[in-house]
Structure 1
């Protein structure tokens, strides 16, 4: 298989299950600290011992009893609340209606294999993947009741994210949550390759701690993640090439001033610049597709020259810094609606790579799952 090939990860079968686990938590002043990420770097086999040393110094705490956690965090004025637990990845869906977790982007097999190797060496799921769904009214009332109580942990981390965490151990509450999640279908918002790594670990060692992987499930109906675009720069092509491609497909490509071009961004229109001139490309986007699909599957293949490379940018300024009249075009993208992404995933289609940016993400180190401690998790 070509190492650059993108493939669809397997589908996990329902019912969707988030199980209690004994959470590891870094000390608040370590959470959100850029140096914390280096603690999970090579040599990976030394990470578990490093955390044990930190634990002896009071820099890591471990819950003595497994719990399902309600984690609320606030960043840039946006508050997100989600359930954090050990996601059951032990069963594969054989029919579309059996799927419980929906990827919307493909994965590079080599990258997923590498992540699985890292987690195995560390003996950890270092951070939860992010899942989103539209929860039931009953589930919303349960989590609201939990959040009305006194949090077990409350702090502001080094990156200024504010956190509140409730450990849920009451058997009735856990049973009620499980019942409300049983029929849920969750969309992967962040962590496609880590999700695929979970599945690889489970396939290597079925029936053990790798039957589960750490996940945070966010209800988009109550505290929605913000879905932003990821912009592109196309090296080895020009604005004239883009005009030619658009016209060959029957799409209009109109010259605009920068402000007008940016304001014209919509689900059916993108803005492009070479750093000197600007155009708006009006795409013929079918109702069940996103603009990013039309760009990659129609417009880019129609370019008379290039692109030699496509780069991805989370900010407009970063994308514009790569524009050059001689060699590169920056393409500003609209963000697809969450509901459209969900429909695309449910229809067994994948969006092009780096099509979505769900924000904000929680800081690293708030909740970690040890694979070595997983024997304490309820089955």
Structure 2
């Protein structure tokens, strides 16, 4: 592995690595051993479902189960070592970049997976757009440190001029070949993976990306984890790089969805009573799709949220302007101050409901139906959000302004388990 880092102010520096991949003959199916990213797995139902899908499902590495944090991380490291010894996982024979394709109906996403040189936000090469929680970073760092592996790629985006040149040209030539693997997961997405080892192709990708700037679409906590672990290993080496999937959204636009909140200890009736006249509140006795449609129309005119948990939906919109001026920070750009996530956290959660942003009180759920179901099951409140346009996210990131954590969900997200990176091999 070339451990020479990029020069200051360079663009993206993506290098090949020896991917760890499941040996198809040793598992029931590739689909059965994959998982969504660790923070998308709905627990406990989704976790149990994945664990029972196959004894070698990747969830046993990304979300190991034991009585203590140390035991969980050691269990993941021991499991990874055992799977390598038993030939469940094996390293590819030579370093490669990997072209990755996801397809579902008319939706097509292609990108390249590799080990990306790490950079601080101040360097302007990789831009975060969301805040992170220190306890989650500490948890992910402990797992990564113990396993010495990048178990799932982050999702990063960049924008070319949209022409099939550089990395995109290599991708579109590569997909004409037979893939290393292909599978279809239960969500209906087909996945294909190819290796790129030809020196000319690698040089073409390297030259193209050296002029690019990337936005973190998914994986802010894992990126912060990479940076923490790099600081612990100052000598140039494998800890100076992190596993990423890079997507050119000029060629393959991503979907941007909201991430919803479930307030575990606040019943919907109490949430509505506390809001009082601070927002306009309307009960919607309609199915979820129509309620979300109403949310979208309201969000086009201003801040709006959909509350659920008591068997109905309640649309909150038209917040009191004076209340917003008192509760939302004035030292941020207008685009940040008017974000739904900003108003939710600054005005509703902090001021009206007075709920701390900890896992005990707030669960972050990507799937809308799952958020409603969990709120009803727990006697809590689901706060359903409307997605933020990608251009707003990118513009704020370029200004160096971070959004409240879990403000957006870019997708489709890469399936976890198709290719891993061992730092011991690098």
TM over 0.5: yes
The answer to whether the 8 A contact 2:153-2:414 is kept is no
Q: Distance in 1 between matches of 2:211 and 2:316?
A: 43
Aligned-pair distance for 1:278? 2.6
Contact 2:99 2:193 in 1 (8 A): yes
Change (3 A) 1:104 1:38: same
**Counting helix residues as a fraction of each chain, which structure ranks higher?**
2
Give, in whole Å, the separation in 2 of the partners of 1:177 and 1:146: 12
Which of residues 200, 224, 227 is equivalent to 1:196?
224
Alpha-carbon distance change, 311 to 368 in structure 1, aligned in 2, over 3 angstroms:
closer
Q: Return 59-68 or 75-84, whichever deviates more.
A: 75-84
1:307 deviation in Å? 4.0
Q: Following TM superposition, by how much is the alpha carbon of 1:323 offset from its aligned partner in structure 2, in angstroms?
A: 5.8
2-side partners of 1:302 and 1:200: how far apart? 32
1:282 to 315, 318, 322: 318
Q: Distance in 2 between matches of 1:254 and 1:233?
A: 19
Cross-structure match for 2:197: 169
Change (3 A) 1:341 1:85: same
Deviation at 1:318, TM superposition (A): 3.6
Pick the aligned partner of 1:38 from 30, 48, 60. 60
* Structure 1 position 300, deviation (Å): 4.0
Does the CA contact (< 8 Å) of 2:121 and 2:127 recur in 1?
no
C-alpha distance 312-112 of structure 1, shift in aligned 2 (>3 A): closer
1:107 correspondence with 2:132: yes
- 1:221 and 1:373 map into 2 onto residues whose CA distance is 34
Instruction: In structure 2, list runs of 5 or more residues that go unmatched.
Output: 1-7, 36-49, 52-56, 65-70, 325-333
Shift of 1:72: 1.0
Aligned to 2:182: 154
Instruction: Kindly state the Cα deviation for residue 179 of structure 1 after the two structures are TM-superposed.
Output: 1.7
1:135 to 120, 140, 160: 160
Normalising by structure 1, we get a TM-score of: 0.81
Sort the Cα spacing of 1:344 and 1:156 in 2 relative to 1 into closer, same or farther, 3 A. Answer: same
TM-score, with length taken from structure 2: 0.73
Q: Tell me the residue number matched to 1:123.
A: 148
Contact preservation (8 Å) 1:21, 1:68: yes
Q: Distance in 2 between matches of 1:59 and 1:166?
A: 20
In structure 2, do the counterparts of structure 1 residues 317 and 64 end up closer, same or farther at CA, with 3 Å as the change threshold?
closer
Match of 1:54 in 2: 83
Matched, 1:225 2:225: no
CA gap 1:334/1:214 in 2 versus in 1, 3 angstroms: same
Paired residues of 2:21 and 2:418 also in contact (CA < 8 A): yes
Q: Is 1:27–1:58's contact at 8 Å kept on the other side of the alignment? A: yes
Any idea what SS the aligned residue of 1:245 has? Answer: coil
Query: By how many angstroms is 1:160 displaced?
Result: 5.7
Q: Measure, in 2, the Cα distance between the counterparts of 1:287 and 1:339.
A: 11
1:244 aligned counterpart, secondary structure? coil
The residue aligned with 2:390 is 338
The count of aligned residue pairs is 350
Query: 1:50 deviation in Å?
Result: 4.0
Displacement of 1:209 in angstroms is: 1.1
- Separation in 1, partners of 2:186, 2:86: 19
Partner secondary structure for residue 144 of structure 2:
helix
Q: Give the match's secondary structure for 1:272.
A: strand
Paired residue secondary structure (1:15): coil
Given candidates 102, 109, 114, the residue that maps to 1:73 is 102
Distance 1:224 1:163 in 2: 17
Unaligned runs of 5+ in 1: 1-11, 247-252, 375-379
For 2:86 and 2:222, the matched residues in 1 are separated by 30
- 1:16 aligned partner: 12
The answer to which of 213-222 and 39-48 deviates more is: 39-48
